[in-house]
Amino acid sequence: MNYPLFKLTLGVIATVGLYTVLWKENKFYRFWEHAFLGLAAGWSLVALWTESLKSVWWDKMVGVTAEGGGVDTPGFWPYVLLLPIGLMGYFVFSKKHNWLSRVPIGIIIGLWSGQQVQVWWNRYGPQINGTLKPILPTGDGFFVPDTTGMTPEEAAAVAGNLYVSQAITNLIFIATVLCVLSYFLFSFDFKNRFIRGMTVSGRWLLMVGFGAIFGSTVMMRFTLLIDRMYFVWIEWLRDTVLRIGG
């Protein structure tokens, strides 16, 4: 048996089976859906050990012996205390001792809550800082000069200036941010036409942004489809089946 051909053919059948859901719900799709879920569950168990438990818990508990004359990493036995805490989570399947499963959940939620302030700032702090853009040009000329052939000092001087085209771009960006933020001021009844115009503009700008996100999502789906069709028609049919068939 030609194992590579068998493996590719099985992959093609699974691909076609999963795409049959576009026609209607059927047993052939259900079979491959459950097969995929089973494989994903098995892979997740292996990945849980190799990518999480072993490196984050086991190696730190027992230590790591370096290869090639490197420095050994000693183990720290207190990590063993994490084992009973983690096993408490499985008491969720016990009706009598179900309350024990809330202990690790409470610990995880407490640690997670304490980290969220820093996580929030690490995520949104750079975005807030990125909205503080200059709008007054400092360089001569409308467009940014071409730095090809310039010395590093001259290129740095060009990069340090703000040109008119850049100032206009920054102004549009700041106006967009202010309009979008004004749309979310639901607690105030604005009677000023300018402010009401900003809120309406913010709503339209949000719709444009959501449309762009939706469009990129559709394009990503088409990218996945093209990749699967390339696998079926090129990797399997043309490069394997037709080549073997002569």
DSSP H helical segments within the chain, as ranges? Answer: 3-19, 27-48, 59-62, 82-87, 102-130, 152-159, 164-183, 193-230, 242-244
Per the CB < 8 A criterion, the answer to whether 158 and 147 are in contact is yes
- Cα torsion at 135, 136, 137, 143 (round to 10°)? 30
Per the CB < 8 A criterion, the answer to whether 162 and 191 are in contact is no
More confident residue, 67 or 70: 67
Per the CB < 8 A criterion, the answer to whether 209 and 177 are in contact is no
> Do 100 and 45 fall into the same domain?
no
Per the CB < 8 A criterion, the answer to whether 135 and 174 are in contact is yes
> Do 202 and 101 fall into the same domain?
no
Per the CB < 8 A criterion, the answer to whether 86 and 100 are in contact is no
> Do 232 and 150 fall into the same domain?
yes
pTM: 0.58
Residues 6+ apart with CB under 8 A from 154: 147
Rounded mean pLDDT, 14-35: 92
pLDDT class of 70 with cuts at 50, 70, 90: low
Per the CB < 8 A criterion, the answer to whether 73 and 66 are in contact is yes
Predicted confidence (pLDDT) per residue in 125-160, tens digit: 998 898 889 888 888 888 888 888 888 888 888 888
> Do 20 and 91 fall into the same domain?
no
Rounded mean pLDDT, 22-47: 93
> Do 141 and 122 fall into the same domain?
no
**Average pLDDT score over the chain:** 88
pLDDT class of 69 with cuts at 50, 70, 90: low
Phi-psi region of 141 (alpha: psi -120 to 50; beta: other; left: phi over 0): left
> Do 203 and 148 fall into the same domain?
yes
> Do 147 and 238 fall into the same domain?
yes
Domain hosting 170: range is: 135-246
> Do 140 and 107 fall into the same domain?
no
* Number of structural domains the chain divides into: 3
Predicted confidence (pLDDT) per residue in 177-233, tens digit: 999 988 888 777 777 888 888 888 999 999 999 999 999 999 999 999 999 999 999
